[in-house]
Amino acid sequence: MSLKVRAVLVIVIGLVLGLSLSVGGGLIGNGKAPDKEELAWEQARLFAEVLERVKRDYVEPIDDAELLESAIRGMVSDLDPHSQYLDAGEYRDIRISTTGIYTGIGIEVDEVGGSVMVITPIAGSPAARSGIRSGDEIVAVDGVSIDPGNLHDTIRRLRGNAGAPVTVSVQRADEIIDHEMRRQIIRMASVHAELLGPSFGYVRVSQFSENTARDLSRAVDDLQDASGGMLQGLVLDLRNNPGGVLESAVDVADLFLDFGVIVTADGRTLDARFVRSAHRGDILDGAIMAVIVNKGSASASEIVAGALQDHNRALVIGTETFGKGLVQTVVPLSKGRAIKLTTSRYYTPSGDSIHEVGITPDIYVDDTPGFPDLSLSGLLDRESDVQLAEAIQHLQVRPVMHSNAQ
């Protein structure tokens, strides 16, 4: 056994033993080690044994650092589909993405049932222009099959230098479709707004970045200026919005609520347990709202939809949402690295967990056939988009709604 591997074994055994002692309380009265401690020692030995065997017998030489980083990646990613280890470059990318600017093809993906699925392509992105749709399964990048168990690797292969070509193969029903495109700097304008009539407005939020609440507030102000006064109603479109920054979702919900809980979270640490509540000041002054959602509405989108629904502030229209009720915290490590770790499970104001369940709309309206292409074009079609048509009808016939939270 090499000196480096022996050193690793000592460190691993020390860490695991320390953990087992803290849990198991050390040796029992007769001097026999508890079962948990024995298992910890055995697993540490196994780790070192596998490490040494791979280094010695694998068909190609592998650097110690590469092996250990792979082990760390596996340890974190095996926890759940959303947790992952981030090297310095990946950590930099994730910090950039929260600002709404990054380089890639403009697509949100997740691991669903052992497959890498498209949650949504971002409006105006290479992926959207090429015709990739929400619900497509990514099967290959540049002709090389992806590993469905390694979501991070898929994301890394989709990203690259601006202008670099990439071919993404997706499966839709029984058909494999190749989409050729060039990567570009994605500057995501997360809010799109337009008037529906003299006193009704429409805003679509494509993701939740650090500036979304501010941009949405400005968009509503602009709509009210254009209509010559306060809006009588607003459609908030969260379809195909994959989520983003949790605090951004809280701030967006807060724009339309005067008081009451927006979201609660429960985890093992003190920081993972929290309650976020609304502050006085509804930018619509209680005007009627409709929120449109679909299967591509996930995470932060579900926080907003759930809060407005539970407080009777808005009617939720569309289909059931994605169902991602877990909160990830990015924890910085040494040398610019980090881990994105699932730390909390969040709950809507009514106390419901929507994980793997989703938000159930108040009025179920199925997606418009070919909807992703229609929605991502940035153009409203009030006749063909049946979900939007239902939302507009709701604005025109329902009275003003107020939060009922106390």
Query: Which residues of 66-106 form beta strands (DSSP E)?
Result: 84-86, 101-104
DSSP 208: B
Whether residue 73 is contained in a domain is answered as no
Domain boundary among 137, 157, 186: 186
Set 136, 282, 310, 367: catalytic member: 310
DSSP-assigned letters across all residues of 267-325: ESSSTT-EEEE--S--TTTT-EEEEEE-TT--THHHHHHHHHHHTTSSEEEES------
Helix (H, G, I), strand (E, B) or coil at 350: coil
The answer to whether residues 126 and 259 belong to one domain is: no
The answer to whether residues 275 and 331 belong to one domain is: yes
Supply the range of the domain harboring residue 29. Answer: 3-62
Relative to beta strand 261-267, strand 144-145 is: unpaired
- Residue 379: predicted pLDDT: 56
The answer to whether residues 202 and 297 belong to one domain is: yes
The answer to whether residues 175 and 307 belong to one domain is: no
The answer to whether residues 340 and 379 belong to one domain is: yes
The answer to whether residues 224 and 175 belong to one domain is: no
Strand-pair partners of 177: 170
Question: Which CATH number fits the domain that encloses residue 137?
Answer: 2.30.42.10
Number of domains in the chain: 3
Token pair in block for residue 259? 């008081």
Q: Name residue, tokens 């104001």.
A: 349
- 324 given a catalytic annotation: yes
- Residue 111: predicted pLDDT: 82
- 310 given a catalytic annotation: yes
Set 125, 190, 299, 301: catalytic member: 299
The answer to whether residues 163 and 222 belong to one domain is: no
The answer to whether residues 172 and 212 belong to one domain is: no
The answer to whether residues 173 and 201 belong to one domain is: no
Distances 143 to 15, 111, 364 between C-alpha atoms, Å? 42, 20, 39
Q: What is the pLDDT along the chain (406 residues), one digit of tens a residue?
A: 455 555 555 555 554 444 444 444 444 445 554 577 788 788 888 888 888 899 889 999 988 888 889 999 999 999 998 899 999 888 887 787 677 777 899 887 888 888 999 977 877 899 999 999 988 999 999 999 999 988 878 988 998 889 999 999 999 999 999 999 999 988 777 898 999 888 999 999 988 988 899 999 999 999 999 999 999 999 999 998 989 899 999 999 999 999 999 999 999 999 999 999 999 999 999 999 999 999 999 999 999 999 999 999 999 999 999 999 999 999 999 999 999 999 999 999 999 999 999 999 999 999 876 554 434 334 577 778 999 999 999 988 755 454 444 4
Question: Which CATH number fits the domain that encloses residue 379?
Answer: 3.90.226.10
- Residue 369: predicted pLDDT: 63
Helix (H, G, I), strand (E, B) or coil at 153: helix
- 299 given a catalytic annotation: yes
Set 87, 190, 251, 324: catalytic member: 324
The answer to whether residues 160 and 199 belong to one domain is: no
